[in-house]
Structure 1
Amino acid sequence: MNFALILFLFVVFTGALWAINHFWARKQRPADAKDPWWVEYGGSFFPVILAVFVLRSFLVEPFKIPSGSMTPTLLVGDFILVNKFTYGIRLPVINKKIVELNTPKRGDVVVFRYPPDPSLDYIKRVVGLPGDHVEYHNKKLTINGQEVKHESAGDYLDPARLYYTPRFKETLGDVQHAILIDPEAPGFVRPIVRFPDSDQCHYNNDGVSCRVPAGHYFVMGDNRDNSQDSRFWGFVPDQNLVGKAFFIWFNFSDLQRIGRFH
């Protein structure tokens, strides 16, 4: 469901009702006549819907985390806010960028339209930038020939699976974050779909290595062995970016998570 399109149509519809009444219909009625119900409701809803549309399209948008691919950073049930303008101002509905601002950095957690099915929104961490050579072999991440070091941070008990997984601290760019690596999970990956620029990736029994094309990003989940990400379905085009996640504003099952993440 394209919620942005539905909201836009509501703005147009209620705005048309308000304009027709304000500039024409009101002048045709007797001075003491009440507004018809459709005018009263349409006119009162218009400014509210317009404000929501502008806020959601250009400033911040709420999302709910549906899976455990970003555990332990983000958990299933977290409600997060996404900065919609940090990577440029885009026209709503068609998602066309009209103002260039910043570009994603390594370590950013981004929401994007899933390339194989743009009707779905995914959230992952940016690992590779345009032109980078990214390798993930034997559960070790290497960027442009430099292995990304990680240090043990103790075991993590997944509240959803009640399963202990080794947790590590990893630094990408200026961002230090936690990742999970399951030593018992298979170390190799295979693409699950044929994707654009798949010739830039090479797979073997140990993992994958990719050269990130211009205008694209290589993303991975923090839950490395339980994440369907660029290792499987390819690169995220710049035009698919929705924004940068930065704040947990609610979680029904754990109120202490409110305000975490940045």
Structure 2
Amino acid sequence: MADAEKKGNPVIETIKTVVYALLIAGVFRTIFFQPFWIPSGSMKNTLLIGDFLFVNKMAYGYSYASCPSVIIPRFGINLDAKSFCGFADGDNTRLFGGEPERGDVVVFRHPVSGRDFVKRLIGMPGDKVQVKGGVVFINGEAAPQEPAGIFEEVAAAQGPHRLRPRCANGPVGEGGTCNKELFTETLPNGVTHSILNIGTQRSDDTPVYTVPEGNYFFMGDNRDNSSDSRVPNAAGGVGFVPYENLIGRADRVMFSSAGRSMLFFWTWRSDRFFKAVN
């Protein structure tokens, strides 16, 4: 009898174990690293649909955006960071704040929808940013682009959302080779990274954007297939992103799956495991 009392009710013990595990996971996710699954192709070829990475939340310190979101549309659950930490929103400051660097690949919360986005940091506070003929100009100086060949992928539905890639070589039949022009872009601080070009479109020529203090200007590396700061958030884009909306820096792809689910092991991309994000 005494032994049974010491052991306690097994159901209650199991519940306590699950609760403790969830609390530990929640603390880890809030303070250190947040898992992030790439759902779209806006950051190709730096990040591919199906890449799984951990976001370094220590890089820029902490704000309301550091709190986790629980969004499960199938069950009608829509609890974003403001649902948990909205009391800390509005002052555009951070605890143990660190400044991001131009060229960082950053996960942030959309200023209006609250959804998580991942883009490359192009414009710093006070910068004047403009795109002319597909070339980024920062404070009047062009960010040079050097041809780097052709990016190839299969013209087929990708990821859980079954997104089809856009191709520079025109309409491509199912299973054909979809091409995009590949360039290496160099930002004013010397950071180099890959960008893709599909063709000429409206987003290749923009007005001059002056980035407000305490805000940042982001663009996708797949320049012709990215909703980013080139379009104001009032018009359905991202617009300027406040400092407090930054979640963390994407440093390394941990795992990658080209299929509809990470469980489909035959679709795993072994060459992307633990790949650094540049």
Give the TM-score normalised by the residue count of structure 2.
Answer: 0.72
Which residue in 1 is equivalent to 2:149? 154
User: Could you report, residue by residue, the CA deviation over 1:44-74 in whole angstroms, capped at 9, with x for unpaired residues?
Assistant: 2233222211110010111100000000100
Any residues of structure 2 matched to 1:30-41 within 5 Å, and which? 32-33=4-5, 35-41=8-14
Report the Cα offset of residue 94 of structure 1: 1.4
Any residues of structure 2 matched to 1:53-72 within 5 Å, and which? 53-72=26-45
Which residue in 2 is equivalent to 1:164? 179
Structure 1: how far apart are the matches of 2:29 and 2:205? 42
Report the Cα offset of residue 32 of structure 1: 4.2
- Could you tell me whether the CA contact under 8 Å between 1:73 and 1:261 is conserved in 2? no
Structure 1: how far apart are the matches of 2:154 and 2:271? 14
- Could you tell me whether the CA contact under 8 Å between 1:138 and 1:207 is conserved in 2? no
Larger Rg: 1
Which residue in 2 is equivalent to 1:130? 125
Which residue in 1 is equivalent to 2:209? 210
Query: Which runs of 4 or more aligned residues in structure 1 lie more than 6 Å from their structure 2 counterparts after TM superposition?
Result: none
Report the Cα offset of residue 241 of structure 1: 0.9
Structure 2: how far apart are the matches of 1:98 and 1:122? 19
Structure 2: how far apart are the matches of 1:65 and 1:57? 19
Which residue in 1 is equivalent to 2:54? 81
> SS where residue 99 of structure 1 aligns?
coil
- Could you tell me whether the CA contact under 8 Å between 2:44 and 2:195 is conserved in 1? yes
User: Could you report, residue by residue, the CA deviation over 1:219-258 in whole angstroms, capped at 9, with x for unpaired residues?
Assistant: 0000001101001121111111111001111112312111
Matched pairs, number: 216
> SS where residue 112 of structure 1 aligns?
strand
Letter in 2 for 1:80: L
Structure 1: how far apart are the matches of 2:139 and 2:94? 32
Please say if 1:228 is aligned against 2:243: no
- Could you tell me whether the CA contact under 8 Å between 2:106 and 2:119 is conserved in 1? yes
Report the Cα offset of residue 31 of structure 1: 7.1
Structure 1: how far apart are the matches of 2:276 and 2:27? 25
Which residue in 2 is equivalent to 1:7? none
Letter in 1 for 2:196: L
Structure 2: how far apart are the matches of 1:210 and 1:116? 19
What CA RMSD, in Å, does the superposition of the two structures yield over aligned residues? 2.1
Any residues of structure 2 matched to 1:108-119 within 5 Å, and which? 108-118=104-114
Structure 2: how far apart are the matches of 1:32 and 1:154? 70
Which residue in 2 is equivalent to 1:178? 194
Structure 2: how far apart are the matches of 1:138 and 1:239? 32
Which 5+ residue runs of structure 2 have no aligned equivalent? 68-83, 156-164, 166-176, 232-236, 258-266
Structure 2: how far apart are the matches of 1:217 and 1:207? 17
Give the alignment partner of residue 246 of structure 1, picking from 243, 251, 254. Answer: 251
Which residue in 1 is equivalent to 2:85? 94
Please say if 1:255 is aligned against 2:266: no
- Could you tell me whether the CA contact under 8 Å between 2:124 and 2:217 is conserved in 1? yes
User: Could you report, residue by residue, the CA deviation over 1:187-219 in whole angstroms, capped at 9, with x for unpaired residues?
Assistant: x23xxxxxxxxxxxxxxx932320001111000
Structure 2: how far apart are the matches of 1:174 and 1:84? 24
User: Could you report, residue by residue, the CA deviation over 1:110-160 in whole angstroms, capped at 9, with x for unpaired residues?
Assistant: 001112200x11100000011000001211100011110010100111345
Which 5+ residue runs of structure 1 have no aligned equivalent? 1-28, 190-204
